[in-house]
């Protein structure tokens, strides 16, 4: 399949490289010319284990390319993935300027009387798939589009491994044809129970709820560590004691916490 991925940050670049490695033809688009030139030369702007090797391998095989030109490359894509940043606004809300700008550019670039699956991988508030669809159709009313939500759960530092070995793939789509296409593209990574099929708002909510839950776990265990230190208790033993309770393990994946508590505390949640 041919994929166009817009935005070559952690999410877009790692997804692009991994989908290329799985045999797809991937074009990654970024508006930053110097970044695109660097990527075309096979140099990764970020360090992730295994990333640069796969980047160079897939450029050489012809599966992966980089450009600043969205319009030229989008036309014959099977799937278009939005992976631009959603920085925090001053009031704490997600700034959707980049996502909505990309939606406008997609709307301007799509050929009329065509059918496209557009996937949002950026972390966005509930309702964004709908607002992206509205913006695209405002630019071009004669396209048949499904705007789906497939949130990203990778961790910086193990991004390639996480992408190639996902715990689950959440597909938020209310169009069966789009769901089928997205299941096909993810098949080498996940199938059966590892695919969570749902609608777009639920997929967007899953990502926010997962981030909140992980943040809650980190805050909770940090508090327990502070109290333990104050009272002369051993936090590692406390964690082991909590995590071996099946009720806690079942609802909160506590084994992760047991084995990786120190890594977990440092983990950055996006």
Ligand X SMILES: NC(=O)c1ccc[n+]([C@@H]2O[C@H](COP(=O)([O-])OP(=O)(O)OC[C@H]3O[C@@H](n4cnc5c(N)ncnc54)[C@H](O)[C@@H]3O)[C@@H](O)[C@H]2O)c1
Buried b (16+ CB within 10 A) or exposed e, 119-148: bbbbbbebebbebbbebbeeebeebebbbb
CB of 154 to ligand X, least distance (A): 5
Of 24, 65, 73, 123, the one binding ligand X by CB under 6 A: 123
**CB-based contact 201:127 (threshold 8 Å):** yes
Residue 144 or 194 with smaller CB distance to ligand X: 194
CB of 112 to ligand X, least distance (A): 22
Residue 85 sits in the site that holds ligand X (CB under 6 A): yes
Residue with tokens 């789509």: 173
Residue 16 or 243 with smaller CB distance to ligand X: 16
Residue 29 or 147 with smaller CB distance to ligand X: 29
Binding mask 130-169 for ligand X (x = CB under 6 A): ----------------------x-x-x-------------
Residue 36 sits in the site that holds ligand X (CB under 6 A): no
Residue 12 or 172 with smaller CB distance to ligand X: 12
CB of 128 to ligand X, least distance (A): 10
C-alpha span between 81 and 83 (Å, rounded): 6
Instruction: Give the residues lining the site for ligand X (CB under 6 A).
Output: 6-12, 29-32, 35, 83-86, 98, 101-102, 105, 122-123, 152, 154, 156, 270
């Amino acid at each position: 399949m041919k994929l166009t991925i817009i935005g070559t940050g952690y999410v877009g670049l790692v997804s692009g490289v991994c989908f290329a490695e799985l045999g797809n033809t991937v074009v990654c688009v970024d508006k930053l010319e110097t970044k695109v030139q660097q990527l075309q030369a096979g140099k990764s702007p970020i360090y992730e284990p295994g990333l640069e090797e796969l980047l160079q391998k897939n450029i050489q095989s012809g599966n992966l390319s980089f450009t600043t030109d969205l319009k030229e490359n989008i036309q014959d894509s099977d799937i278009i993935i939005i992976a631009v940043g959603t920085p925090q606004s001053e009031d704490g809300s997600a700034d959707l300027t980049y996502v909505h700008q990309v939606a406008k550019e997609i709307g301007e670039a799509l050929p009329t009387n065509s059918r496209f699956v557009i996937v949002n991988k950026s972390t966005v508030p509930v309702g964004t798939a709908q607002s992206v669809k509205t913006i695209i159709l405002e630019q071009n009313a004669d396209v048949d589009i499904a705007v789906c939500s497939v949130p990203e759960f990778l961790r910086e530092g193990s991004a390639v491994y996480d992408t190639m070995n996902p715990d689950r793939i959440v597909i938020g789509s209310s169009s069966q044809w789009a769901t089928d296409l997205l299941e096909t593209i993810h098949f080498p990574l996940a199938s059966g129970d590892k695919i969570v099929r749902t609608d777009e708002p639920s997929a967007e909510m899953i990502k926010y709820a997962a981030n909140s839950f992980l943040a809650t776990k980190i805050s909770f265990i940090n508090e327990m560590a502070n109290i333990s230190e104050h009272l002369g208790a051993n936090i590692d033993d406390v964690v082991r004691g909590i995590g071996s309770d099946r009720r806690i393990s079942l609802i909160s994946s506590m084994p992760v916490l047991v084995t990786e508590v120190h890594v977990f505390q440092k983990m950055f949640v996006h």
